[in-house]
């Protein structure tokens, strides 16, 4: 997804898909995964999170996994266009040790943040939230629900429209995928401007379910995307600042 926009005022409307029933649509700002390159690769740091509830062995696992994630990240300058510094997470999934450690530490962070409460549903965003979201859901013995671009899933869907720098796009979730009253953890690889994550949160709420929190592998801190997510619990493994 491209474009950096700071507009964050949603405007509700109704959209109709000719092959589906009328569906609720809202507009919200896009979250870009590709950031302006102010320096070669910016500054990447371990996310500062309280881990007081973890044992010494779990704490060690956490720090090891964070280092593996940072070491596996690849920064690609001028992709897909000049001036963009693309953060490539795919090498993590090419390394079974890094992938296994990533899953272990995400489970630990969920337990540290929520205690014995486990979300009813893991909601993953297209497309890179699909890389680890289903496996994380399997680890937690929970269902995985995808949020996808409009027109990629059959049947009746709920739709949220969100703004991008050069236009608009739409996210969808199938009507029967999330049940009323369920608690949902929304996961994605990177949070930048926060728009797509916020749009997914709206889809959850339109399903009469509850956003339990958000989980990201990487936060681009200087873009302040967290502000769009309100006061919901927020978990991130790695913080990256493009300004430094």
Task: Spell out the domain ranges in the chain.
Answer: 12-241
**125 within 8 A of 144, measured Cβ to Cβ:** no
What's 12-241's CATH class? alpha beta
Q: If you average pLDDT over each of 18-27, 94-103, 142-151, 192-201, which comes out highest? A: 142-151
pTM score: 0.80
Q: Pairing relation of β-strands 144-149 and 157-164?
A: unpaired
**Is residue 157 pLDDT above 90, yes or no?**
yes
Beta bridge partners of 220: 240
**Is residue 13 pLDDT above 50, yes or no?**
no
195-226 b/e with 16+ CB inside 10 Å = b? bbbbbbbbbbebbebbbbbbbbbbbbbbbebb
Between CA 6 and CA 225 the distance in angstroms is 9
Mean pLDDT, residues 84-88 taken together: 83
Neighbours of 75 (CB within 10 A): 16
- Confidence category of residue 83, pLDDT binned at 50, 70, 90: confident
Mean pLDDT is lowest, of 1-10, 12-21, 68-77, for: 1-10
């Amino acid at each position: 997804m491209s474009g950096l926009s700071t507009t964050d005022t949603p405007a509700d409307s109704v959209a109709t898909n000719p092959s589906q029933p009328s569906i609720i649509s809202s507009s919200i700002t896009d979250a870009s995964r590709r950031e302006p390159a102010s320096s070669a690769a910016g500054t990447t740091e371990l996310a500062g999170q309280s881990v007081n509830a973890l044992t010494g062995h779990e704490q060690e696992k956490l720090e090891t996994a964070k280092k593996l994630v940072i070491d596996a990240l690849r920064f690609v300058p001028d992709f897909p266009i000049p001036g963009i510094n693309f953060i490539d997470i795919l090498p993590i999934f090419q390394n079974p040790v890094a992938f296994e450690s990533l899953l272990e530490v995400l489970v630990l962070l969920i337990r540290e943040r929520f205690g014995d409460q486990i979300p009813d549903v893991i909601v993953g965003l297209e497309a890179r939230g699909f890389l680890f979201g289903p496996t994380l859901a399997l680890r937690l013995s929970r269902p995985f629900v995808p949020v996808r671009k409009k027109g990629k899933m059959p049947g009746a869907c709920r739709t949220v429209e969100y703004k991008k720098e050069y236009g608009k796009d739409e996210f969808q979730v199938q009507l029967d995928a999330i049940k009323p009253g369920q608690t949902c953890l929304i996961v994605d690889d990177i949070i930048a401007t926060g728009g797509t994550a916020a749009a997914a949160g709206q889809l959850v709420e339109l399903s009469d379910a509850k956003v339990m929190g958000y989980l990201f592998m990487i936060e681009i801190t200087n873009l302040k995307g967290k502000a769009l997510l309100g006061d919901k619990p927020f978990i991130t493994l790695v913080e990256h600042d493009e300004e430094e």
